[in-house]
Amino acid sequence: MVNPSFFIACLLFIALNAIVQGVVAAKDKVPVEILKGINDLDKVILRNFRGSSVEVYLYGAQVLSWKNEHGEELLFVSSEANFEPPKPIRGGIPLCFPQFSNLGSLAAHGFARNRFWSIDASSHPFLANSSRTHVDLLLKPTEEDMKIWPHSFEFRLRVTLRPAGDLMLTSHIRNTNTDGKPFNFTFAYHTYFAVSDISQVRVDGLETLDYLDNQQNRTRFTEKEDTITIESEVDRVYLTTPTKIAILDHEKKRTFVIRKYGLPDAVVWNPWEKKSKTIADLGDDDYKRMVCVEAAAIENPITLKPGEEWRGRVEFCAVPKLLQWAA
């Protein structure tokens, strides 16, 4: 017969031990950490106490991982991605700035995605409280950059992992020209969402809108479908969309909710089978596991006078069920 007080003492010991182990484990996972990533490139990891995490590389200020509390990856990175500057990295969230696609004289999607950013010394990521972690990254042009785009600017990107596991990116772009000149730019958060199978995916919130079809010289069409399914190559800029867009993954029973501010347009891109084979850093079958829905400012470029600042924010939430959607 076991002595009841001994039994209670054992239970108390086990419970206390579990609490101590939990605290130690939580402390082990510091909310903001700088580590070496693939090919020794610096990356910042944000973690919250529920177990969600975000990884952002200083090269391109590119978020390349966003995991939910179960450790499931929510962003797609190509199986053939190059982590070799100055090449861009295919996957995650490349930043298109100061030019979207080939809408200007720069290389496609501008140069922000293949520059080394710094951690903004004026912010204090390591003092972030445990309920909301963030890091601020900064890009200023070099003399070489100013030869191809003759403007001085400061681009601050705040990457925030919220307590519930949502990911938020806020861009602040300021014109710091001293010659009195304004500048124009186009912009996109070129987000590659991970999906189970592209045939099981639909995009809601873009119905009845006008779009420019990049496959047809940006001819303008009106969306006729109630929901967007992807069954062949799609490369469209939907114009002046609602704030909220949803990606429903029927196989995974997951809904990505995208909320965007200061970013009127939204690109939907999937290269499908034939085009994928022409993209060296994309695996032949990768198109089945990704869809890009990109919060953007494309149709009307943003103009900033010296001293002016623009802000564009996007919030992503991954809900573990299929939401009935109403924009």
- Residue 172 annotated in active site: no
Compute the distance between CA of residue 40 and CA of residue 43 in angstroms, rounded to an integer: 9
Please check whether residue 298 is in contact with residue 235, taking contact to mean a CB–CB distance below 8 angstroms: no
The overall longest dimension of the chain from CA atoms, in Å, is: 89
Residue 176 has a CB neighbour count (10 Å cut-off) of: 14
239: tokens are 């114009």
**Strand-pair partners of 116:** 59
Residue 283 has a CB neighbour count (10 Å cut-off) of: 16
Per-residue binder mask for ligand BG6 (CB under 6 A), 50-79, x = binder: ------------------------------
Q: What is the DSSP string of 263-298?
A: --EEEEEE-HHHHHTT-TTS-TTGGGGEEEEEEEEE
By CB under 6 A, the residues from 78 to 97 that bind ligand BG6 are 88
Please check whether residue 259 is in contact with residue 243, taking contact to mean a CB–CB distance below 8 angstroms: yes
* Least spacing, CB of residue 88 vs ligand BG6, in Å: 6
Compute the distance between CA of residue 313 and CA of residue 315 in angstroms, rounded to an integer: 7
Peptide bond into 98 cis (omega under 30): yes
* Least spacing, CB of residue 123 vs ligand BG6, in Å: 29
* Residue from 109, 134, 190, 299 carrying the catalytic annotation: 190
Angle at 103 between CA 102 and CA 106, to 5 degrees: 60
Q: Could you tell me which of 81, 110, 117, 84 has the C-alpha nearest to residue 95?
A: 110
Closer to ligand BG6 by CB, 235 or 286: give it: 235
Residue 55 has a CB neighbour count (10 Å cut-off) of: 21
Q: Does 243 bind ligand BG6 (CB under 6 A)?
A: no
Number of residues that bind ligand BG6 (CB under 6 A): 10
- Residue 190 annotated in active site: yes
* Least spacing, CB of residue 267 vs ligand BG6, in Å: 5
Residue from the set 136, 145, 235, 315 that interacts with ligand BG6 by CB under 6 A = 235
Closer to ligand BG6 by CB, 84 or 308: give it: 84
Q: Does 315 bind ligand BG6 (CB under 6 A)?
A: no
Please check whether residue 299 is in contact with residue 266, taking contact to mean a CB–CB distance below 8 angstroms: no
Closer to ligand BG6 by CB, 51 or 301: give it: 301
Q: Does 267 bind ligand BG6 (CB under 6 A)?
A: yes
Specify the DSSP element, H or E, that contains 247. strand 244-249
Please check whether residue 41 is in contact with residue 57, taking contact to mean a CB–CB distance below 8 angstroms: yes
Closer to ligand BG6 by CB, 101 or 170: give it: 101
Per-residue binder mask for ligand BG6 (CB under 6 A), 277-306, x = binder: -----------------x------------
Per-residue binder mask for ligand BG6 (CB under 6 A), 104-123, x = binder: ----xx--------------
* Least spacing, CB of residue 186 vs ligand BG6, in Å: 11
Residue from the set 269, 291, 313, 318 that interacts with ligand BG6 by CB under 6 A = 269
Closer to ligand BG6 by CB, 251 or 284: give it: 284
Stretch binding ligand BG6 (CB under 6 A), from 71-79, 101-109, 126-134, 169-177: 101-109
* Least spacing, CB of residue 102 vs ligand BG6, in Å: 8
* Residue from 109, 134, 294, 315 carrying the catalytic annotation: 294
Compute the distance between CA of residue 323 and CA of residue 326 in angstroms, rounded to an integer: 9
Count CA atoms closer than 13 A to 30's CA, side-chain side.
10
By CB under 6 A, the residues from 168 to 227 that bind ligand BG6 are 190, 214
Binding site for ligand BG6 (CB under 6 A): 88, 101, 108-109, 190, 214, 235, 267, 269, 294
Q: What are the catalytic residues?
A: 190, 294
